[in-house]
Amino acid sequence: DIQMTQSPSSLSASVGDTVTINCQASQSINTYVNWYQQKPGTVPKVLIYAAFNLQSGVPSRFSGSGSGTDFTLTISSLQPEDFATYYCQQSHSPPYTFGQGTKLEIK
């Protein structure tokens, strides 16, 4: 099974900052990574699919990069509504595992 190791597990930042969240796969998965945002009490929402493709309706301050085993989600110019938990997920081969999550909090 492919393990997805996400870091950091939590992150404190201010409005206007740029933050990066990392995800490392235990084996090469090409660009089969998706990123999700979840706010408390709500359903997860896909932000980025296939490593760098922005889902329709998602603000352009979100971007994804990487291939092989190392992937990054970058959020530029943080907005108040961006404080949430973020997850990576590999869709290369089953089981389609998630990372442990990164909780982004307001500093």
- The CA distance from 37 to 30, in Å, is 22
Residue 87 contacts another protein per CB under 8 A: yes
- The CA distance from 102 to 30, in Å, is 22
CB of 106 to another protein, least distance (A): 20
Residue 37 contacts another protein per CB under 8 A: no
Binding segment for another protein (CB under 8 A), chosen from 16-24, 51-59, 70-78, is 51-59
Element (H, E) at 64: strand 62-67
- The CA distance from 74 to 40, in Å, is 21
Among 27, 70, 100, 105, binds another protein (CB under 8 A): 100
CB of 82 to another protein, least distance (A): 18
> What single letter denotes the amino acid at residue 33?
V
Nearer to another protein, 13 or 58 (CB): 58
Nearer to another protein, 16 or 95 (CB): 95
Report the SS3 class of residue 27.
coil
